[in-house]
Structure 1
Amino acid sequence: MRGTTSPRRAPAVLALGLAAALTGCGAGGDTRPPHAPAGLTAQAGSATSVHVMWRAPDAADGVSGYQVFQGGRLVRELPADKTMTDITGLAPRTAYTFSVRAEDAAGNRSPLSAPAEVTTPDARAEDRLAPTAPAAADGRAEGPHAVRLSWDAAADDTSVTAYDVYQAGVRVHTAPGTDRATTVTGLQPGTAYVFTVRARDGSDNSSPDGPPVAVTTPADPGRAPHTAPGSFTATASPGAVELTWTAPDTGRATSEYQLYVNDLPVTVIQFGAGAVPRGRASYRLTTAEPAGTAWTLKLRARLPDGNWGAFSEERRILLPG
């Protein structure tokens, strides 16, 4: 778009070498460990796999990752935005114990969580037939941060061992195959969600999605959603634009932001492990656009549930020569 200042078109030349001046979280002097993860559950998904889940921590803990232990042996290391995992390669008809601990950016580690015990079912003959999809499903909000989902039982030639809940194409929860309802927590207030449920059998065959369930969480009267980056600024200098903002309070450190220029998305800003801002953040992008080019800029954060949050205030700049 060289030579034009139309506010409706994205810049054609964004030298997003993204040599970002990323503001990392300072680890110096931090010796306080995070709290141990709470709400740990372990659900056998098949004769050889177990699904382990736990609740997201409070943002004040500054968690940067998790370690998952099987019987005292480390089996998984996960980033802060993952609060579930599948442990595979297990033995049928065997009891297992799992625990999780959290780690912050300064390297402080929490105590181990309360253990979760589970026994894998018997192995079955080769089974390639997937269960039927749950024929009907329903849902209702249970406050600003939780949704209660229910569904009809699926059918399978052996048995249904688990029901997986998906949101925006990502599995966010797993319930036992004997359940017909579950509660999904850690959601944002005042947000529209669409969930689907899939049945899974002991051979890890998954059904098609059941019917979609749309639920909107109510606003939290005691706490605003705070999904928009705050105090957003954009300062232009020759060949570059400096962006600063305050990270939103979403209940977890935010490591991913989507930048819009002239109402079109141009890049996703990602902070690496150990550099996730919890207060003010900054980002520098370079540009070869001609002097006098007009830009309007805004950005939004990726929420813990995978959705994009509200946009920041919009800023308008003219690129200098």
Structure 2
Amino acid sequence: MRRVPLRPGRRVSVCAALLLAVSCGTAGGGSGEGPAPGAPAGVTADAGSATSVHVMWNAAGSGVRTYEVYRGPTKVGEVPAAQHMVDVTRLRPATRYVFTVRARSADGRLGPPSREARARTPAYAAADQVAPSRPGGVTGRVVDGRAVQLSWTAAHDDRGVRSYAVQQGGVKIHGVGGGQTATVVTGLRPGTGYTFTVRAQDAAGNLSPASTPVRLTTPGTDDRRGTAPTGFEVTSRHEAGSYYLELAWEPPRVDGVITEYQIRLDEGTDSSLVWGGTPPRGRAHHSLYAGREAGQVHRVRLRARLPDGTWGGFSTERTVTTGR
């Protein structure tokens, strides 16, 4: 994937000034042993629209648990160690921003900030209601069991294409700047079939139609073990004349963030649970309306939409009776 070098920002290190006088200790706290992670390298920032910037970086080595993304001094994102990109949203149009990334180790130590990556969001064109054209000529090749390379011909827009979104199963899983027409998508699963499409976006947030799909299968095998939610429990609750099913589970441990689940009730009804903000850490909970009658028997299970856009395995099925 081509990276555009950015001019490094100026950063003053208080620790460097005090190095001979006193130990600076662990950056960001933590009580573990050993050094903190190093600063992530290769940080880039590209405006995806008038209100969003796509930040990417390279891995900071082993022992990293999460990466924290900062806009100036403000933390605006946190992702697992396997994820090296994030879309920072809710920004102001026509504004310059400075981003840094820091790595946090498994024992809680926070490493130093990366070099600064700068981006300017374009002006918001409120009157622009014309979407870019459809990206064409999408092709792909398998790199290995966990990565593929995609390329396409540039889309056109009367005011310019700001970014491209790579989707799998209708879900955005990757993004690049409007000047790029190729990328490598990582974090995939071996032995899995994928259908990728590409959409262009302009500064006003208008999205083009999806490109012609390209289908690729990663080599290897994947028995889907580890992709199902665990510790799934369901209880019945009565409130104000209605019954609710209280669901609780442990999210599967995967490379990336899970933001959507499919809940299957009685093998006939599927409902979608999408976290509107940052997904909760640890055990997840959800309340599902189950009607007004006591004594109704329900069978429930759920599965997660994985970060690569595919569905994981279903949890263990639970049976619950309302009013008990």
When normalised by structure 2's length, the TM-score is 0.60
Show the counterpart of 2:281.
Answer: 276
Q: Name the amino acid aligned to 2:301.
A: K
Q: Name the amino acid aligned to 1:143.
A: D
Structure 1 SS opposite 2:140: strand
Unmatched tracts of structure 2, length 5 or more: 1-28
Q: Give the Cα–Cα distance (whole angstroms) in 2 for the partners of residues 319 and 127 of structure 1.
A: 52
Contact 1:36 1:110 in 2 (8 A): no
Unmatched tracts of structure 1, length 5 or more: 1-28
1:45-76 deviation per Cα after TM superposition (whole angstroms, max 9, x unaligned): 57997432347999x8664x84422xxx2356
Show the counterpart of 1:77.
Answer: 76
Contact 2:247 2:285 in 1 (8 A): yes
Q: Name the amino acid aligned to 2:70.
A: V
Q: Give the Cα–Cα distance (whole angstroms) in 1 for the partners of residues 224 and 234 of structure 2.
A: 25
Shift of 1:299: 1.9
Q: Would the alpha carbon gap of residues 37 and 308 (structure 1) be closer, same or farther in structure 2, given more than 3 Å must change?
A: farther
Shift of 1:240: 8.4
Greater RCO, 1 or 2 (C-alpha within 8 Å, sep 6+):
1
1:147-167 deviation per Cα after TM superposition (whole angstroms, max 9, x unaligned): 211112334567655433234
Q: Give the Cα–Cα distance (whole angstroms) in 1 for the partners of residues 201 and 237 of structure 2.
A: 56
Q: Give the Cα–Cα distance (whole angstroms) in 2 for the partners of residues 145 and 286 of structure 1.
A: 39
Shift of 1:39: 5.8
Q: Give the Cα–Cα distance (whole angstroms) in 2 for the partners of residues 203 and 230 of structure 1.
A: 41
Show the counterpart of 1:68.
Answer: 70
Q: Name the amino acid aligned to 2:111.
A: P
Q: Name the amino acid aligned to 2:270.
A: P
Give matches, 1:1-321, under 5 Å. Answer: 31=31, 40-45=43-48, 50-54=53-57, 63=66, 66-69=68-71, 73-74=72-73, 77-78=76-77, 80=79, 83-85=86-88, 88-90=92-94, 97-101=98-102, 110-115=110-115, 117=117, 131-155=132-156, 160=161, 162-200=163-201, 206-220=207-221, 226-230=226-230, 232=232, 246-252=250-256, 257-263=261-267, 264-265=269-270, 268=273, 276-277=281-282, 289-291=293-295, 293-305=296-308, 307-316=310-319
When normalised by structure 1's length, the TM-score is 0.60
Q: Name the amino acid aligned to 1:228.
A: A
Q: Name the amino acid aligned to 1:172.
A: I
Query: Bigger CA drift: 252-261 or 303-312?
Result: 252-261
Q: Give the Cα–Cα distance (whole angstroms) in 1 for the partners of residues 175 and 323 of structure 2.
A: 53
1:119-172 deviation per Cα after TM superposition (whole angstroms, max 9, x unaligned): 66999x999565432222122333332221111233456765543323444443
Query: Bigger CA drift: 198-207 or 188-197?
Result: 198-207
Q: Give the Cα–Cα distance (whole angstroms) in 2 for the partners of residues 286 and 301 of structure 1.
A: 20
Q: Name the amino acid aligned to 1:251.
A: D
Structure 2 SS opposite 1:136: strand
1:75-133 deviation per Cα after TM superposition (whole angstroms, max 9, x unaligned): 56236488222555345xx8x75212367999x5733453354566999x999565432
Q: Would the alpha carbon gap of residues 46 and 277 (structure 1) be closer, same or farther in structure 2, given more than 3 Å must change?
A: closer
Contact 1:255 1:277 in 2 (8 A): no
Contact 1:35 1:61 in 2 (8 A): no
Q: Would the alpha carbon gap of residues 189 and 154 (structure 1) be closer, same or farther in structure 2, given more than 3 Å must change?
A: same
Q: Would the alpha carbon gap of residues 200 and 233 (structure 1) be closer, same or farther in structure 2, given more than 3 Å must change?
A: closer
Q: Would the alpha carbon gap of residues 190 and 275 (structure 1) be closer, same or farther in structure 2, given more than 3 Å must change?
A: same
Shift of 1:189: 3.9
1:227-285 deviation per Cα after TM superposition (whole angstroms, max 9, x unaligned): 1124646678998877665542213465764432311236749699695227xx77787
Q: Would the alpha carbon gap of residues 232 and 273 (structure 1) be closer, same or farther in structure 2, given more than 3 Å must change?
A: same
Q: Give the Cα–Cα distance (whole angstroms) in 1 for the partners of residues 202 and 78 of structure 2.
A: 28
Shift of 1:206: 5.0
